[in-house]
Chains A and B, each alone.
Chain A
Amino acid sequence: MSQVLHALRCVGSSGVTRVAAFTGLDEAAAESELIDLAVAGFVTHHTGFGGWALTDAGREADAGNTSAELETAGGRDALTGPFDDFLVLNPELLDLCTAWQVRSVDGVTTANDHTDPAYDHRVLGLFADFHERASVVIKALAAVLPRFGRYESRLAGALTRAQTGELAFLADDLASYHVIWAELHEDLLATLGIQRWRG
């Protein structure tokens, strides 16, 4: 299946940079494939915001690809266990992102201005602890569908950048731990054919 097509399904409309980050391709290769997909009618390029988006045909093609891939890999049942484990981790990760962005000062929810190294160190440590448990779940997903393995290295990369001082890479950047985690969430929903919301 086309990882570039699937990237647009999970990342949403975006520029070539995020497609490249998602797939691990370099930007030139990603762009070249995007152009091929555009010729096939699966994606369009929006000059307005300089990004790429799926067409209805592209969305349908990706859904066909993922469901065929899942059949070959043993079907939905194989993913159910690790997906449930993901759903347990998800609220904890959102709690951690929130704790990184805001904290209670005299009872008031206040933006974390990152001037308290002890607090930041504590939350960063909790992200590292979380990541160890997330890695176990992602490895279980990758045992069924190897492409999920990329999330582990991408998340680890974002965590390392935050640990080495690039504080936005936990929750405040388009390449942050939170955004990659949200892509994983979307990928699981897309792969399992689950609606995020109804109505």
Chain B
Amino acid sequence: MAWVRRLHADLDEPPEVVGGKAHGLVLLHRLGLPVPQGFVVTTAACRAFLRDGRLPRGLAEELAAQVTAPVVSVRSGAAVSMPGMMNTILNLHRTPEALETAVQSVFSSWNTPRARTYRAVHGIPHDLGTAVVVQDMVFGDRDQHSGSGVAFSRDPGTGEKRPFGEVLFGHQGDDVVSGRELTSPLSAVQQEPVVWQGLLDAFDRIEQHHRDACYVEFTFESGTLWLLQVRPGRFTGAAAVRLATDLVDEGLIDRAEALRRVAPSHLRHVRTPRIAPGADVVARGLGVCPGVATGRVALTAGEAVRLAPDGPVVLVRPETSPEDISGLAAATGVLTARGGPASHAAVVARSMSKPAVVGVADLVVGAGAATVGGREIRAGELVTVDGTSGEVALGRAAVVTGVADGCLERLLGWADEVSGERSDRPEEERLAAARAVLGIG
């Protein structure tokens, strides 16, 4: 096969050829984890398509020769992650023509103006092309024992060793990340004990392999777990510090590796205020401007302007429009039902450095009150938002800064041992000195 590779444990091709997604799926095969069968069309085929404006000679025959289920998923997967920039086609009823058209549509999506701009911003070359992963469709919407979710093996906010993520029973994966549907915390998967056990087992094996926390996307169909994507967790800030020291304690990495994993720049984010454990957290959205804000709820921009002279206000909106700018200017924090990291609300909140949480799917803003997490918050009541974790808590939540359990002090202690320097200096310098000795940039 010139353009197509079967996904299985013995496939030995780098992400440059098969893309990061397929590379991860091969790892899952090697670890003996459940992956829907499928194949990948290489980035070389994409480059040929982009050059010639048609699928390369022979690809159609290779596609036709692949055995799959009647219904497949067709997903992009470049060597470098470009989340949300390219096409995904689910539930494709496979005919030769439909499959060729789907592959072409994913290849073409490499070159949309938005994708080109994304690459230019992030310094990703335009000539890499994307691979296309074709897999048997597994149906998260099959029945009440089916669903889809995304999960980290540990809490990406704190680094704590407990699975973290969200799940949506009775839905396919694209609904989980759309923000349109109300997801449940990952722990709800415990309703399906076999799936839950499978997930914990997968976390163990993947963590042992990567010697790091991991992130997976999964679907379960009639009580059977399938993994659709995997990557290392890439924790930052306080979570990175906690994770690195825990991994040392678990014997997965040594101290030098821990110092390698935490960049000095992470320490700048360790001290960002966060909602303390034990708060009355009713929802979790996406934190898009770090910091904690507690204030009285204002449901319109006008209300925010009116309330602000008497104390801090949190503006609560479905999403923001220009009308809300005056309200945002008056508020100390903002909470919206819609929006992602690059939404109007996020851009405006960052421009004013206001802690902001967006994309709280079950937030409904009414005339005199909002409901969130099944609880009612009336205008004028206190609410707290955490623009790092995305948490929303009722009342005035306590705030913490820094890492629990002395993890940071331990890490810096190891740094001092390496550098042999124990004078009083900023934390970032202590870490940087050790990394210099270890030859890390």
Q: Which residues of A contact B (CB under 8 A)?
A: 10-14, 46, 48-49, 51, 53, 88-89, 91-92, 94-99, 101-102, 104-111, 122-123, 126, 129-130, 133, 168, 171-174, 176, 178-179, 182-183, 185-186, 196-197, 199
Q: Which of B114, B269, B302 has the most CB of A within 10 A?
A: B114
Contact present for B266 and A51 (CB under 8 Å): no
Do A108 and B265 touch across chains, with their CB atoms under 8 A apart? yes
| A48 and B305 within 8 A (CB) | yes
Contact B121 A95 (CB under 8 A): yes
Tell me, yes or no, whether B209 is within 8 Å of chain A by CB.
Answer: no
CB pair B318 A197 closer than 8 Å: yes
CB–CB A98/B322 < 8 A? no
Residue tally, chain B, CB below 8 Å to A: 40
- The CA-CA distance from A168 to B351 in the complex, in Å, is 9
Complex interface: stretch among B29-37, B336-344, B391-399: B336-344
Q: Can you report 27 A-B residue pairs in the complex whose CB atoms are below 8 A from each other?
A: A10-B322, A12-B323, A12-B325, A13-B301, A14-B325, A49-B330, A89-B113, A92-B113, A92-B117, A94-B343, A97-B342, A98-B347, A99-B121, A105-B265, A107-B234, A108-B237, A108-B266, A126-B120, A126-B121, A129-B117, A130-B117, A176-B351, A178-B348, A182-B322, A182-B344, A183-B322, A186-B323
Q: A97-B342, A197-B338 are in contact. Are A173 and B236 (CB under 8 A)?
A: no
Q: How long is the Cα–Cα vector from A133 to B116 in the complex, in angstroms?
A: 13
4 more A-B contacts (CB under 8 A) besides A130-B117, A182-B322, A182-B344?
A: A10-B322, A12-B323, A108-B265, A176-B351
Which residues does chain B contribute within 8 Å of A49, judged by CB atoms? 305, 326, 330
Q: How far is the CA of A157 from the CA of B59 in the complex (A)?
A: 49
B319 close to A (CB within 8 Å): yes
Q: How far is the CA of A132 from the CA of B351 in the complex (A)?
A: 24
**Is B191 positioned at the interface, with any CB of A under 8 Å from its CB?**
no
With both chains docked as a complex, state the minimum distance between the C-beta of A55 and any C-beta of chain B, in angstroms: 12
Cα–Cα distance between A168 and B350 once the two chains are bound (Å): 12
**Complex formed: what's the CA distance from A96 to B122 in Å?**
11
* Alpha-carbon separation in the docked complex, A156 to B129 (Å): 33
Residue-wise, chain B 283-316 has the 8 Å CB interface mask toward A (1 for contact) of 0000000000000000001100110000000000
| Nearest chain B residue, comparing its CB with the CB of A15 | B326
Whether B351 pairs with A101 at a CB distance below 8 angstroms is yes
Does B195 count as interface, using CB distance less than 8 angstroms? no
- Interface class of chain B by DSSP: helix
Q: Which residue of A lies closest to B237 (CB)?
A: A108
- On whether the beta carbons of B347 and A94 are closer than 8 Å, the reply is yes
The chain A residue sitting closest to B309, CB to CB, is: A48
CA A76 – CA B348 in complex, angstroms? Answer: 30
**B266 / chain A contacts, CB cutoff of 8 Å:** 106, 108
CB of B419, distance to nearest CB on chain A (Å): 19
Q: Are B326 and A13 in contact (CB under 8 A)?
A: yes
A173, B326: Cβ atoms under 8 Å?
Answer: no
Contact A179 B236 (CB under 8 A): no
CB distance A106 to B265 under 8 Å? yes
Residues of A within 8 A of B306 (CB): 48
User: When the two chains form their complex, are residues A122 and B114 in contact, meaning their CB atoms are under 8 A apart?
Assistant: no
Nearest Cβ on chain A to B195's Cβ, whole angstroms? 30
B340-366 contact mask (Cβ, 8 Å, vs A): 1 or 0: 011110111011000000000000100
Q: Is B423 an interface residue (CB 8 A)?
A: no
Q: How far is the CB of B349 from chain A (nearest CB, A)?
A: 10
Q: Contact at A12–B301, with CB atoms within 8 Å?
A: yes
Let me know if A95 and B347 touch, CB within 8 A: no
A129 to B117, CA, bound (A): 9
- Interfacial chain B residues near A186, Cβ < 8 Å: 321-323
A174 surroundings in chain B (CB, below 8 A): 325
Q: Does B408 make an interface contact (CB < 8 A)?
A: no
Taking CB atoms and an 8 Å cut-off, the chain B residues in 248-267 that contact chain A are 263, 265-266
Instruction: Out of B301, B302, B351, B364, name the residue touching A199 (CB < 8 Å).
Output: B364
Contact (A102, B302) CB under 8 Å given A12-B321, A107-B236: no
The answer to whether A108 and B351 have CB atoms under 8 Å apart is: no
Closest to A187 in B: B322
Bound complex: CA A129 to CA B118 (Å) = 13
Q: Counting CB contacts under 8 A, is B324 at the interface?
A: yes
Q: Is the CB of A92 within 8 A of B114?
A: yes
Residues in chain A near residue B341, CB distance under 8 A: 98, 109
With the chains together, A178 CA to B319 CA distance in Å?
16
Instruction: Determine the distance from Cα of A104 to Cα of B124 in the docked complex, in whole angstroms.
Output: 14
**A98 close to B330 (CB less than 8 A):** no
Q: Using an 8 Å CB-CB cutoff, how does the interface string of B75-118 with A read, 1 for contact, 0 for none? A: 00000000000000000000000000000000000000110011
Residues of chain B with a CB closer than 8 A to A53's CB: 302
Q: How many whole Å from A183's CB to the nearest CB in chain B?
A: 5
